[in-house]
Structure formats: C-alpha cells, structure tokens
C-alpha cells in the first residue's frame, strides 16, 4: 500500500508538471493572440510559444565573458524549478494539489518571490550594465508588490477564521480551505466590498509579479535593451521563458482557488473521472479569464510606468486599498446585520 501510494504520488507529480507546461505555453499563445487582436494585429498562431521554446533549446547557449558562469547558468534553473513548485500547491479543479496540506498562502507568497529573485541574480551575474540596471529595478519592484499581497493574505485568512471558527479541519491560510468554502456566499455587503477590493489588487499585483506592462521596468526593451535578459540565449533563455509562463498560470490558479473555487460537476450532476476532467477544464478556463483582466487588458491599455511610479502605485496605492479591504472584512460581521435590519 505504501509503495503504491508513493508510485501514484510520483506519477501525479509528473502529470501535474507536464500538464502545467502544456497549459502554460498554450495560455501564453492565447495571451499573445488576444493582445494582437486588441491592437488590430493578426498576431502569431497559438502554437507559437511551443515553436519558440523548441527553437531556443536548439540554439547555442552563450556565456558572456564578464559573467559569473556558475551563477549565470544556475539562475534559469532556479527560476524554472521554483515556478514549477508552485503548481504542486494549487488545487486543480476538484482534484487536490500534489502537496495538499503541506503548504499555505504564506509559503506561496515566498515561493512567488523565488523566480524573480533568480532572475535578479542572473541579471547581476551576466556582467552586463543593462542587466545590472534591470536587476536593481527588479529588486525595488519585488519589495513594493509584496506588501499589498501580505495584507491581502492576512485579510483573507482573518475572514476565513471568523466565518468558520468552529471547524477543526480548517487552516485559515490553506488554499484547500478556500477551495472548499465559497467566501462570497458567507459575507454581507461590507464583506463583499472588502473582498472585491482585495481581488482588484490581486489582479493588478499579478501584472507586477509577472513584470508585464506597465510594471516591466526590469526589462524595458526601449530603455535598457531587455535589461535582465539582455545577455541570455539558448537553453537558459528558454528556462526563463518557461518559468514566466508557469508563474502566470500559478498566479491565476491562486486567485481562482481563493475567489472562484466553484466547479461545474455539481451543476451537471456528474461524478468520477468525467467530473474531474470537466472541473479541470473549467479551472483552466477560469485562469484564462483571470489573466485576461490582469495581463492582457492592462498591457494593451496602459503604458510603462517609471520606476518611482511603480513603487508609489504598488507600495502606497495598492497597500491602502488592501488595508481598506481588510477593515471592511473585519467590520462585516457586525455592520452587515445592522444594515439588514435598517433596510428591513
């Protein structure tokens, strides 16, 4: 029994990794296609990310003369590995995650930092002045967007604890707890507004986490020639590309697991493998919808911000919005019933 469980776990890990890679590249293709159409362009085919990865792995990996070779080559591996690890903590529709019960939102917050940290170290190790400037900018943005994320995580855990104080199986910071309880259905008007504000910030912080326009100051092709990735090529660049694609899916999956954990199988009255397949497909559709609002629309409609503007927006504006959301979640159990009585 123990050996069977171990083999099943190993198989589940490889299936999750393989499925995550395919879906991540496919969603990147959808991202590029929809963005092109919104800009009145035809855009590349949906398979283009797969072609790009295949081409990069077939090219030579050039190591700059002034680089630190071991760190330069280690950074892309660390970026890809840390991004892939995120997939093992996210429930996939009605399926538990590979590491269910062994991680929480606090751990995921730190894991989200690792790909950006690896990218920063790789930029410093490349020996390029453009990459050095990009790495310095990336370090500043990492500090700025973590604060609103932590405030939002605390607010969500606080709400979960207040809603289900007598549930012995509930761990407030666990993604499994959120996927098992639809928090929107358990709050009043103030809680709804607070959750909406936190969701709004999480959608925008996703853009910063993934270093996309308007928060792509670390790469900024028109200013610092690609910045962090200026000297990368071949296999190393492919690993950074894969890590970025997987991190996008992971960020979308975290938002879906917290705010939109509902599945289709109960509505369709199906069960077993068919239900798992339908819920998994619906889970990825929800991720595409989340990334459409947090990446595609913003990238098309907003120009790149300056580095000081990025810090001001993420550190002050987003943090303030999250604090307001936290306060609304906190007062909801007391004020929403009073509002209901007055309205009646």
Q: Is the dihedral of CA 211, 212, 217, 220 positive or negative?
A: positive
Predicted local distance difference test score (pLDDT) of residue 177 = 76
Contact 160, 177 (CB under 8 A): yes
Q: How would residue 74 be classed by pLDDT, with cut points 50, 70 and 90?
A: very high
Q: How would residue 170 be classed by pLDDT, with cut points 50, 70 and 90?
A: low
Task: Name the β-bridge partners of 95.
Answer: 92
Predicted local distance difference test score (pLDDT) of residue 342 = 43
**Separation CA 109–CA 115 (nearest Å):** 12
| 89-98 tens-digit pLDDT | 888 887 888 7
pTM: 0.90
Predicted local distance difference test score (pLDDT) of residue 79 = 93
pLDDT at 344 over 60: no
**Among 81, 66, 237, residue whose Cα is nearest residue 229:** 237
Helices (H) and strands (E) in the chain, counts: 14, 0
**Among 85, 151, 89, residue whose Cα is nearest residue 118:** 85
Task: Give the 3-state secondary structure of residue 19.
Answer: helix
Q: How would residue 1 be classed by pLDDT, with cut points 50, 70 and 90?
A: very low
Predicted local distance difference test score (pLDDT) of residue 298 = 87
**Separation CA 226–CA 120 (nearest Å):** 13
The length of the chain, given as a count of residues: 344
Q: How would residue 253 be classed by pLDDT, with cut points 50, 70 and 90?
A: very high
Q: What is the DSSP string of 184-221?
A: GGG--HHHHHHHHHHHHHHHHHHHHHTT-TTS-TTT-H
pLDDT at 36 over 60: yes
Task: Give the 3-state secondary structure of residue 92.
Answer: strand
């Amino acid at each position: 029994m123990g050996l069977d469980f171990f083999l099943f776990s190993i198989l589940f890990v490889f299936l999750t990794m393989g499925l995550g890679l395919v879906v991540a590249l496919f969603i990147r293709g959808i991202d590029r296609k929809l963005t092109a159409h919104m800009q009145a362009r035809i855009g590349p085919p949906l398979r283009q990310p797969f072609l790009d990865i295949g081409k990069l792995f077939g090219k030579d990996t050039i190591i700059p003369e002034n680089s630190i070779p071991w760190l330069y080559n280690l950074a892309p591996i660390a970026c890809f590995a840390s991004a892939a690890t995120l997939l093992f903590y996210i429930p996939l529709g009605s399926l538990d995650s590979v590491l269910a019960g062994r991680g929480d939102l606090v751990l995921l917050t730190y894991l989200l930092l690792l790909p950006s940290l690896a990218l920063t170290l790789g930029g410093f190790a490349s020996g390029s002045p453009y990459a050095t400037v990009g790495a310095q900018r990336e370090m500043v943005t990492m500090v700025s967007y973590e604060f609103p994320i932590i405030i939002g995580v605390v607010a969500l855990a606080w709400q979960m604890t207040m809603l289900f104080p007598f549930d012995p199986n509930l761990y407030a910071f666990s993604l499994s707890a959120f996927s098992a309880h639809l928090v929107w259905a358990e709050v009043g008007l103030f809680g709804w507004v607070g959750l909406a504000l936190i969701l709004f910030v999480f959608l925008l912080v996703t853009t910063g986490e993934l270093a996309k326009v308007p928060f792509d100051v670390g790469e900024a092709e028109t200013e610092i020639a690609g910045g962090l990735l200026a000297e990368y090529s071949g296999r190393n660049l492919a690993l950074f590309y894969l890590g970025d694609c997987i991190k996008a899916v992971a960020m979308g999956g975290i938002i879906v697991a917290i705010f939109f954990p509902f599945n289709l199988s109960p509505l369709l009255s199906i069960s077993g493998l068919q239900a798992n397949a339908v819920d998994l497909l619906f889970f990825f559709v929800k991720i595409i919808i989340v990334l459409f609002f947090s990446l595609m629309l913003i990238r098309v409609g907003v120009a790149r911000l300056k580095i000081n503007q990025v810090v001001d927006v993420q550190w002050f504006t987003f943090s303030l919005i999250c604090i307001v959301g936290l306060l609304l979640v906190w007062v909801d159990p007391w004020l929403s019933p009073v509002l209901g009585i007055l309205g009646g």
